[in-house]
Amino acid sequence: MSNLNPMSTLNVKLNVKPILFTMYHIHAYMGPCRYGEGYDLTTEKDMEVAQKEFEIFKQELATELDLTQVNLLEPEIVVWNEDFALKESEIQKAIKDDAQTDFYLVRGLRISSYFAVELAKRTKKPIGHTPNKSAISKCDHVDMTAHLLAIGHPAYAFLDFDDVNRTFEILRTKKALETTKVFFPLKSALLTFGCQSSYIQLGDITDKFGIRFAHVNSEDVFKWLDELTEDEKQEAKALAEQIVSTAKGVHMPVEYVQNDTEYYITIKKMMEHFDCNAFTMPCFEVCATRELNKRKLTFCLAHSIFKDEGIASSCAGDVGSILSMTILMNLSKKAPYMGNTMVLDRKTNQCRTLHDVACSKMKGYGEACLPIELVSFTMNNWGTTMRYDFANDIGETLTLVNLSPDMKKIMVAKGTINGCDDYLTPECKHAVRYTVADAERFHQCQKYVGHHFAIVYGDYVDQVIALANECGLEVLQA
């Protein structure tokens, strides 16, 4: 995924602090909680065992953990004695990287659940317990979670590293949402007239997910566009030539493509200036200014390029779709499609989604580019859009996501591709058609979330549901 934009949320990793917790017995004794005899009852033996298990733990972290999802912080051994006094010095050793830590991963050798509960309460951070494979009684993990979940603290009892990796994938995606800042130029109204299902209040989105926003007046975008340097215009020209030369087909005058790449360069420049890593802009309101008609450009190509770079970029000022795209991009590592979604025929469970924002990395950021063709948005042959014949993929699975305007519900559905509409026709008509399990159910769920859905290839329903549970969202599944 070397072509990702450096600001892409796909570059986000979960910072994990591994800790092995054990007991160094001061006295040699036997009893109902102590086994062995002779040397096995000494402090030195406890220390030897701890060091051996620590090396095993570190080896498992290196070989069984999906390191594409996480940054591992320095592992620590934390101890106490049979007086059950958890020293402040040991707590400080455990939390020395707390400012950088997103998640504490604990392995316990001796009565570790008390320490894990104390660590979670002290740091307020999520914590997980992975059982020691050599332990006779692997119960500390559920002992810990029972306490912490009862008081509303996030806690995880892992059975194995597959369980760990699945959880870290979800938590990393949640962190990706938290690190999103949307560049959102405004025109006429904060909530775009063409998408009332986007959100109720932007503050709700910030409170729920941590997503932030940067606003300018949409007229400022055109001022920045007019002030592009000659070097930036040459960059846009080179990009236009590259897009044209690598396209499977070009069905519009090539001289218009540079208008759209100059717009892309402008937005990219403004996003860098405002430290943003996502983008949306109202279509209807800006179209009505006639600036797009005068300059012979549309937003479509920029949205497609950004998504190919791992940047969530949505049509029509739809902030809700930024969330949907970010979720699906991070779970699938694929560029999403987006568009108006509707039931076509409830008897045959037919649905379709249409917009002109296909992109070349819809099969995966690490995969070869799809055979994209270029078609004008307008009947006058300007406004570059990427098109892809979804009929190439009849029988393949899609996952669809949309959030409710109050950010309390998430709809997730699965479809099977059965065709493609208006693949080479100008205007906003390019559509993927698919079959869902129950179109009536799909429609009943859709009335809570609206018409704009983000879509990726593959089945990611379980992961979306797991993320919804982490974020406290009600799931509407169709």
Q: Say which DSSP state 388 is in.
A: -
Q: Say yes or no: 226 and 149 in one domain.
A: no
- R_g over Cα of the chain: 26
Cβ contact 114:135 at 8 Å: no
Contacts of 58 (CB under 8 A, 6+ apart): 18, 75
- Of 447, 459, 453, the residue nearest 352 (C-alpha): 453
Confidence of residue 2 (pLDDT cuts 50, 70, 90): low
Helix (H) or strand (E) holding 387: strand 384-387
Task: Judge whether 173 lies within some domain.
Answer: no
Residue 277 reports pLDDT greater than 60: yes
Q: Say yes or no: 363 and 309 in one domain.
A: yes
Kindly report the CATH number assigned to the domain that includes residue 217. Answer: 3.20.14
Task: Judge whether 382 lies within some domain.
Answer: yes
Q: Say yes or no: 153 and 200 in one domain.
A: no
183 against 133, higher pLDDT:
183
pLDDT of residue 134: 72
Residue 188 reports pLDDT greater than 60: yes
Q: Say yes or no: 242 and 188 in one domain.
A: yes
Tell me how many domains the chain contains: 2
Residue where a domain stops, chosen among 143, 166, 189: 166
pLDDT of residue 95: 98
Task: Judge whether 31 lies within some domain.
Answer: yes
d(CA 436, CA 392): 19
Query: Tokens standing for 219?
Result: 């007229």
Cα 106 from chain centre: 25
Q: Say yes or no: 359 and 458 in one domain.
A: yes
Q: Residue 418 in 3-state DSSP? A: strand
Distances (CA, A) of 363 to 360, 456, 466, 467: 8, 8, 23, 22
> Per-residue pLDDT tens for 79-108?
999 999 999 999 999 999 999 999 999 999
- Of 187, 261, 264, the residue nearest 218 (C-alpha): 187
Q: Say yes or no: 196 and 114 in one domain.
A: no
Q: Say yes or no: 185 and 144 in one domain.
A: no
pLDDT of residue 131: 75
Q: Say yes or no: 229 and 330 in one domain.
A: yes
pLDDT of residue 35: 85
Task: Judge whether 172 lies within some domain.
Answer: no
Q: Say yes or no: 219 and 313 in one domain.
A: yes
φ, ψ of residue 51 in degrees (nearest 5): -65, -40
> Per-residue pLDDT tens for 291-338?
999 999 999 999 999 999 999 999 999 999 999 999 999 999 999 999
d(CA 59, CA 17): 15
Task: Judge whether 4 lies within some domain.
Answer: no
Helix intervals (H) in 333-460:
439-446
Average pLDDT score, the chain: 96
Please name the residue that has the structure tokens 């912080």: 73
Q: Residue 444 in 3-state DSSP? A: helix
Task: Judge whether 46 lies within some domain.
Answer: yes
Confidence of residue 393 (pLDDT cuts 50, 70, 90): very high
- Of 25, 22, 21, the residue nearest 83 (C-alpha): 25
Average pLDDT over residues 97-120: 95
pLDDT of residue 34: 87
Other beta carbons within 10 angstroms of residue 469's beta carbon come to 11
pLDDT of residue 137: 64
> Per-residue pLDDT tens for 400-426?
999 999 999 999 999 999 999 999 999
Distances (CA, A) of 103 to 59, 210, 239, 368: 19, 17, 41, 34
> Per-residue pLDDT tens for 231-276?
999 999 999 999 999 999 999 999 999 999 999 999 999 999 999 9
Residue 136 reports pLDDT greater than 60: no
Write down how long the chain is.
478
Task: Judge whether 298 lies within some domain.
Answer: yes
Residue where a domain stops, chosen among 137, 166, 195: 166
pLDDT of residue 176: 98
> Per-residue pLDDT tens for 144-155?
999 999 999 999
Kindly report the CATH number assigned to the domain that includes residue 17. Answer: 3.40.50
Q: Say yes or no: 279 and 206 in one domain.
A: yes
Cα torsion 450, 453, 458, 461 to 10°: value is -30
Query: Domain containing 220: what range?
Result: 180-477
d(CA 362, CA 378): 24
Task: Judge whether 454 lies within some domain.
Answer: yes
281 against 36, higher pLDDT:
281
Residue 217 reports pLDDT greater than 70: yes
Residue where a domain stops, chosen among 136, 166, 196: 166
d(CA 477, CA 401): 10
Q: Say yes or no: 230 and 373 in one domain.
A: yes
Cβ contact 102:14 at 8 Å: yes
> Per-residue pLDDT tens for 358-385?
999 999 999 999 999 999 999 999 999 9
Q: Say yes or no: 156 and 293 in one domain.
A: no
Residue 473 reports pLDDT greater than 60: yes
| Lowest mean pLDDT across 112-121, 133-142, 469-478 | 133-142
